[in-house]
A and B are shown apart, each in its own frame.
Chain A
Amino acid sequence: MFALLLLSAIHFQGGVFRVSGWDAPAEPRSGWQSIFTVYAGSGSDVPPLLGVYSVDAGELVFRPRFPLSPGMHVRAVFRAPGESEIESSFDVPAGAIPTATTRVAQIYPTSNVLPANALKLYIYFSAPMQRGDSWTHVRLLRDDGSRVEYPFLELDQELWDRDHLRFTVLFDPGRIKRGLASRAEAGPALEPGHTYTLVVDRAWRDGRGAPLAAEFRKTFRVAPDDRVPPDPKTWRIAAPRSGTRDPLVLTFPKPLDYALLQHEIEIPGMHGVVSVAREEKEWRFVPETPWSAREYQVVIRTTLEDVAGNHINRPFDVDTFDPITKSVSTETVTLQVRPR
């Protein structure tokens, strides 16, 4: 027993911790953790690393619950009953420093003119990003370079897509809606006639931990508020030729929401590819199969918004004392088109 203890050693290989030179008896009542504990990080007052113990070929083995992060320092402590403690430290290889290759791919709306009551921006990245401190990397500057204070709704939850390729930025609705204390106190975030620059700084880290390859700036001019709901009756439809897979093209008089345009307009019975062009004023649909000579329905859900959050059937803030001159009560609006 004495000779065996002298040879006891802790090994860390393949992400697994192992005590050699000690014949593991039955698990003590207080659990294996009372004999063999692994601590991650450099803190002295930290709880043990989560993991599972087993005895493999007489050796006590500890498998961490999660693979240890690159660069982690770990400390393994083995206390055989009645014997002196053995402590070994290990460093997980740090791994290569990732190169800064991720970029802001696009910011929607793409137009360089936004209404003063613009509601949303979508920042698209070329690779998946990290979350958690996103608001520290986005700022809005006036044309004199001064910073606009709190223009956005800084939700802690951060509105990402599932792949962390797109970050949704909402302008603070409290400063857009008329008649609210926020707007009265701080004024609207965007003022008509002025120019602003949205800055996405380089320090924002991507999913690999690398900063962005470059800072991104989007400069835009601000037009007066837009409180007019989009009206499909004003849209132009370019009918495709029958027997072809030509695109069906809808043209709008003003930009609509890029993300919603991907799925809020459908042609029942047809599968195809949607694309959005001309500063979100054009919706194109290329069918998988050729058009027939029959009439097709273009179904638009009223949840489709313009860049100021006005829906097909109502403006962003409805004035309940002013009569609403145009009202659409159904949840979809349908346009007809017959291929040429």
Chain B
Amino acid sequence: MSFTNRCIRLAAAASCAAALTFAAAVNMPAGKVDLKSAGALAMGPDGILFVGDSVGGSIVALDVEDRTPSKSGAALEIKGINEKIAAMLGTAADQILIQDVVVNPISKNVYIAVSRGRGADAIPVILRAAPGGKLSEVALSNVKHQSVNLTDQPQQDRARMETITQLKYVDGKVLIAGLSNEEFLSSLRSIPFPFQAASKGAGIEIWHGSHGRFETQAPVRTFVPYEINGEKSILAAYTCTPLVRIPVSELKAGAKVKGTTIAELGNRNKPIDMIVYSKGGKHYILMANSSRGVMKLTADNLESYQPITKQTEVMGVPYETIASLKGVQHLDKYDDASALVLIGEGASLDLRTVPLP
């Protein structure tokens, strides 16, 4: 019986169609994945996990075969997650770093990028937290995967490196924000997935206009996909403070793109992660910051913010700070009603779902 026939016979035709589109259609040979580091994570369709390997200079797509939908109403709470992970890895909590967390929207399993060790010899580990809180390792010894190098010979130069600060899958492309440890350049990349051998995702030049006067090639630190009037955009936060909107259609290799500033968030606002959500018929952006806590921005009518072409004061979108969420280190959308946070102000970190404010 062919795979297609089996699909037709199955009641769960939708999930089979998804499997055909990606896991089955993408040539992802099984084998050992040799990660040099595991930083930013992103979920693609059909349970495909993207791992940003800054040290290895690559993006790896893993088919973690995680396609079973969760029961509704799932929640997660793992107290002292850094201590628990350290215990699993046979080391002390101060000898691990949690680099990123991401939710598989299908299963609600959470993937965690961990560095075992803090030195140059640190070992990358990917863990999975099930909705009940059980932690397990994602074995990389024989997993279906595909990878793409971001430069020709990524590890030849020991000094020069690009750190991947954010990774998202949008409309068949993996968007990657990175920051060089030498050049102050924008290095937003757009790489079609499945990866093609030749595509390294040439950089997109993102410029930032502040008050219409000064432009700089501005590294994007974090971003989130967002649909405005049927047009896919990304809301991007620069390493300097503005929040800008960039249509995904403009994100082509070699393009020079100027973001539309929609908010200036002020000094010391260093966005780490952003999610978009709806509540009570309104749209919001939730943004975790390194020093200003979690901010909730009204995201309605973002399309009305026009590109800044002449010197004018920016009318920023309104925002409020969520007092109950202090010490959020990572943020992802869990479901329509809750967000996942890695949170903690002392040595101990918790991974838990919180209601969307």
Contacts and interface: CB of A to CB of B under 8 A. Distances in A.
Nearest to B96: A132
A318 B268 contact: no
A178 B159 contact: no
B95 interface: yes
Given A181-B267, A303-B183, A156 B216 contact: no
Interface residues of A, number: 71
Nearest to A304: B183
B190 interface: no
Contacts of A49: 87-90
Nearest to B159: A161
A128 B163 contact: no
Nearest to A50: B88
A163 B120 contact: yes
Interface string B260-301: 000011111110100000000000000000110000000000
B211 interface: yes
Nearest to B123: A66
A173 B210 CA distance: 12
Contacts of B221: 155
B137 to A, nearest CB: 6
A175 B311 CA distance: 19
Interface of A is mostly: loop
Contacts, number: 206
B84 interface: yes
A48 interface: yes
A182 B267 contact: yes
A97 B185 CA distance: 42
B265 A131 contact: no
Nearest to A208: B119
A180 B241 contact: yes
B39 A157 contact: yes
Nearest to A180: B210
B215 interface: yes
A305 interface: yes
Interface string A306-319: 00010000001111
B9 interface: no
A128 B119 CA distance: 7
A163 B120 CA distance: 5
Contacts of A64: 90
A68 interface: yes
A43 to B, nearest CB: 6
Contacts of B290: 154, 156
A132 B118 contact: yes
B107 interface: no
Given A69-B92, A120-B184, A129-B119, A317 B216 contact: yes
Interface residues of B, number: 69
B146 interface: no
Nearest to A161: B159
B157 A263 contact: yes
A180 B264 contact: yes
A120 B161 CA distance: 15
Contacts of A174: 239-241, 267
A32 interface: no
Interface string A169-200: 01011110111111001100000000000000
Contacts of A233: none
Interface stretch (A5-13, A140-148, A254-262, A327-335): A254-262
A284 interface: no
A66 B291 contact: no
Contacts of A68: 90-91
B97 interface: yes
B179 A159 contact: yes
B242 interface: yes
Contact of B119 (A43, A65, A120, A164): A164
Interface in B43-60: 54-55
Interface of B: 39, 54-55, 80, 83-84, 86-93, 95, 97, 99, 116, 118-121, 123, 134-135, 137, 155, 157-161, 163-165, 179-185, 208-216, 218, 221, 239-242, 264-270, 272, 290-291, 311, 329
Given A66-B91, A173-B216, 9 more contacts: A41-B93, A43-B84, A46-B87, A65-B90, A180-B242, A181-B265, A317-B214, A317-B216, A321-B311
12 contacts: A43-B80, A48-B88, A130-B119, A157-B99, A159-B179, A159-B180, A160-B120, A170-B239, A177-B208, A180-B211, A182-B267, A185-B267
